[in-house]
Amino acid sequence: MAFEWKDFLFRFYLKHFFSTDFSASKSIRHQQKILKKILHQLSSTELGRDLKFPEIKSYNDFKGIVPVTQYDFYESYIEKIKSGQQNVMTDKPVQWFAKTSGTTSGKSKLVPITRQIVQQCHVRGSFFALAKIHQQDKSMRLLSHKNLLIPGGIYETLPTGITVGDISGILVRNVPVIYRPFYVPSIDVQTVSNWEEKISNAVKQITHEDVGTMSGVPTWILSVLQKMKEEYPFEKLTDVWKNLQVYFHGGVSFEPYRKQFEDLVGKTNFNFFEVYNATEGFFAIQENLKSNNLLLLTDNYIFYEFIPLENYSAGERNAIELSEVKTEVPYVMLITAPNGLVRYVIGDVITFQSLDPFTFKITGRTQEYINAFGEDLLLSNVQNALMKTNQTLDCSVSDYTVAPLYISIEEKGRMQFAIEFLKSPVDISTYEKLLDENLQQENSNYKQKRANNLALTSLEVIVLPQGTFYKWLSSKNKLGGQNKVPRLVNGRNMMEEILAIKSSAQ
């Protein structure tokens, strides 16, 4: 009964302090206030002075004075913070550096993290997510059962006392003591940086717990569950955890993994709930349980701007604010945050689905697309084509990457899909043909290049042994946490490395 009262009080708290009413008018007011607040807060910092924050009186001043930035803009500031200087990018002490995966750029980045952005952005966003799912499903009893959480690791503490880790590992370290008994495995196991050690110790702790909630990146949650199934065989996950209610996922597109999780859970009234919590900030939560659209969190200490992808690709950097966006236009998203990232290109491409409230889908990456033949292939094109093909042929994909095979004197170009199948197609040539047709339906530029094999021949699917991508990530020291397999690579290096691993395994 005590646990029931905890859930009742928790639901009351969420309802009254974390309203998920983000109407257009409220959202625009939120954004105006947040920009003013961040500019005022950062005006006294070295970054703020360099960017003339004290002179900015309006949004037009802001975008007229402050350039659109990427990580290299901040590297000299980051070095000063690493050396122990404060008041460089933020007026609050930098206690952590969140390490990004770097799978797209090939180089990890360090993002300054203060207690303020942990509490007022990341933690606050988590509470919005909890409020939304309690609103959508009245049967939620999250405090009556344990929450399985598989975050990234904590890597090192610098001589200046700043701790370096994955953002999820940093957030776990900031979980209040009162809430820690609701999480499994233990905090020490969750934040271990060695991925194999983490999986092994996690499985020992979680198997006999009463788990009601799972949270984490799909690839790494699956790794833990697969290990658990090897050591403690079960048919369905709900045979082990009878009170399992919801899986909070994010970090990568869930669609390639949805069928695997549905089959694994073995329960029809189960909730899959997406959150958009990136290293740089907590940006969005799933709009409702019947839609895959994401609801932009406009009152979560982040100011947003947008550049149409077409313009960005052409070298233009003229951004617009939230009140000016349109539906069905791919936008590159910029953020301004109290950790000193200002007009910062986070790398994601989003497309708004509605404007009241502001909901969207993540449709690609600024550096994760393929345009080797003028096809402008976006991540959403590939994901939708794969999903349709898998549904038609009753297949499922564990992991994949796509790269162009360039035109040569001897042959025309084509797309190469390197895929680990969980459930393989009966005939790979049939799969290739249908996938190519679906990809043409998704992308008119690709269809045009494929017409009569004018510039491109039909795509090629390379079936990989299970564990190939795991070996590739391991070779890059990128197991676990925020790390993920790049989906679309506008070059050959990664594909050649994958093919070399495949060849060595044969």
- Position 133 scores a pLDDT of 93
Q: State the distance between the two ends of the chain, measured CA to CA, in whole angstroms.
A: 58
Whether 395 has a pLDDT exceeding 50, the answer reads yes
Per residue in 441-496, pLDDT (tens digit) is 988 778 877 877 766 899 999 999 999 999 999 888 777 666 788 888 877 889 99
Whether 367 has a pLDDT exceeding 70, the answer reads no
Cis preceding linkage at 185, omega within 30 = yes
**Segment 376-392 mean pLDDT:** 88
DSSP structure class, residue 118: I
Whether 89 has a pLDDT exceeding 90, the answer reads yes
Please tell me the least confidently modeled range out of 1-5, 27-31, 253-257, 455-459.
1-5
Per residue in 194-246, pLDDT (tens digit) is 878 888 899 999 988 999 999 988 877 887 888 898 888 989 999 999 999 99
Cβ atoms of 334 and 345 closer than 8 Å: yes
Q: Which residues, 6+ apart, have CB-to-CB distance to 408 below 8 Å?
A: none
User: In DSSP terms, which residues pair with 213 in a beta bridge?
Assistant: 147, 246
Whether 95 has a pLDDT exceeding 90, the answer reads yes
d(CA 263, CA 225): 13
Domains, the chain, ordered by start? 379-505 (3.30.300)
- Position 444 scores a pLDDT of 74
| Bigger pLDDT: 132 vs 2 | 132
Cβ atoms of 220 and 150 closer than 8 Å: yes
Q: What percent of the chain has pLDDT over 70?
A: 95
- Position 101 scores a pLDDT of 58
Cβ atoms of 450 and 456 closer than 8 Å: yes
- Position 455 scores a pLDDT of 66
- Position 214 scores a pLDDT of 94
Whether 2 has a pLDDT exceeding 50, the answer reads no
Residue in the structure block whose two tokens are 């290990």: 227
The overall average pLDDT reported for the chain is 89
Name the band, by pLDDT with cuts 50, 70 and 90, for residue 356: very high
**Residue 369: closest CA among 402, 330, 397:** 402
- Position 408 scores a pLDDT of 60
- Position 454 scores a pLDDT of 64
- Position 117 scores a pLDDT of 95
Torsion of CA 299, 482, 156, 225, to 10 degrees: 120
SS3 category, 345: strand
- Position 412 scores a pLDDT of 75
Q: How far is CA 435 from the centre of its chain?
A: 25
Whether 253 has a pLDDT exceeding 80, the answer reads no
SS3 category, 401: strand
Per residue in 190-205, pLDDT (tens digit) is 888 787 888 889 999 9
- The secondary structure element, H or E, covering residue 334 is strand 330-336
**Segment 350-365 mean pLDDT:** 92
Per residue in 113-127, pLDDT (tens digit) is 999 999 999 999 999
Cis preceding linkage at 357, omega within 30 = yes
Residue in the structure block whose two tokens are 């797309």: 415
- The pTM assigned to this predicted structure is 0.78
Name the band, by pLDDT with cuts 50, 70 and 90, for residue 103: very low
**Segment 119-141 mean pLDDT:** 92
d(CA 396, CA 338): 41
Per residue in 418-450, pLDDT (tens digit) is 999 999 999 999 999 999 999 999 887 788 778
Per residue in 67-78, pLDDT (tens digit) is 999 999 999 999
The sign of the torsion formed by the CA atoms of 252, 257, 258, 263 equals negative
